[in-house]
Structures are given as structure tokens and as C-alpha cells.
Amino acid sequence: MTTLTINRKPKGIYGTPQKTTQAAQEQDKTTSVHKVIPGNQNAQQKPTGATPWQHMTKRQRKNRRRVNRLTEMWPDLFSHKAPKPLKVGIFDDLMQDIAVRGLAFGSGVLRATLASYAQSPRYYRALIAGGARYDLKGQPCGEVTPQEQQEAETRLMVLNEKHKRQRRAAKGDTCQ
């Protein structure tokens, strides 16, 4: 005959919190996960190094992971912090490089990832600044034309207006 038992969680770990020592409390006071803004103690502080994954939609998280993958595969070309204007026709070059390296990256996924990267405000600002366009190895390959700069400026303004409307809608403010 078999005896049935119920395995319970240990009380100290999962139950009521244990009293912490004074040394642990002091350590908690000295280390902070927030940036200290000098001269502005009343301002809301932002966490350091925290990626706002919890505030992103599922699509945004997927696009972020895909762009991260591009930055790992071609670090000379792709960057989140300082994007460079991409060469015209970079998609074909990337597809050839993917085939040569034998990577698992479909053409549809690559196209969507490039669109996500190229429609970011930072990329638009890089286009507005002008200068050279870059190939797979990070070498200059062509220039950003004044017409492309103007289009990027227009698209950035539209994107900023869209974000302003979304923020107003989130606050519940309906006035223009």
C-alpha cells in the first residue's frame, strides 16, 4: 500500500518575509538601480540599463529581437545607438551574404526587419544629417541626396505627430 503525501514549500523562503539584518538594509540604501540626476532631486528617476520590454507590443518585441540579430551578424553596418544610412539595394547584398554564410534568415523576415530599422526616428535623423551611405562591411558607398533628406525630414515629422497623438489619447486629453 502506498502512502500519499503533500509536499509543501518551506515556510522561510515562500511564506512571510524574514527580518533582514541591519547590514543588508544599509547595502540596499547604498546601491541603487536608478540614475541620480544632480541638482534635481524631485524629478522622477529612470532605471539604468533597463530595456522597456514590458511596455512594448508583441510585434515591437519581435522586431527588436530581429534588429538585434542584424546587429550581431553585421556590426559594422547596423547599430541601435547610431544608425548609418544604408546603401541603396542593401537587401540584395544581405540576401547574398545570408546565402553564402548559410544563415537561417528568410527574405520576408529580412525585408520586415529592414523596414523596422529604416523607419525608426534615429535612422531618419541619420538620413537628415546626410553624408555617405554604407555597405555590408561598413564602407562608404554612395551619398544621401537632398531629396532623400527632405523625405526623411517629412517622415520624421509625421512620425512625431503620430506619437504626440498617441500620448494625448493615452492621457485622455482630446483637445488639439
Beta-strand pair 132-134/140-143: antiparallel
d(CA 137, CA 50): 30
- Return the pLDDT at 10: 58
| Ordered mean pLDDT values, 10 residues apiece, the chain (176 residues) | 66 54 50 50 50 72 86 87 89 91 87 89 89 89 90 90 86 63
Rg (the chain; Cα; Å): 25
- Return the pLDDT at 31: 46
Which of 68, 80, 167 lies closest to 123, judged by CA?
Answer: 80
Residue ranges of the domains in the chain? 56-171
Which of 49, 22, 44, 55 lies closest to 33, judged by CA?
Answer: 49
Class of domain 56-171: mainly alpha
d(CA 133, CA 140): 6
- Return the pLDDT at 16: 53
- Return the pLDDT at 8: 64
- Return the pLDDT at 39: 53
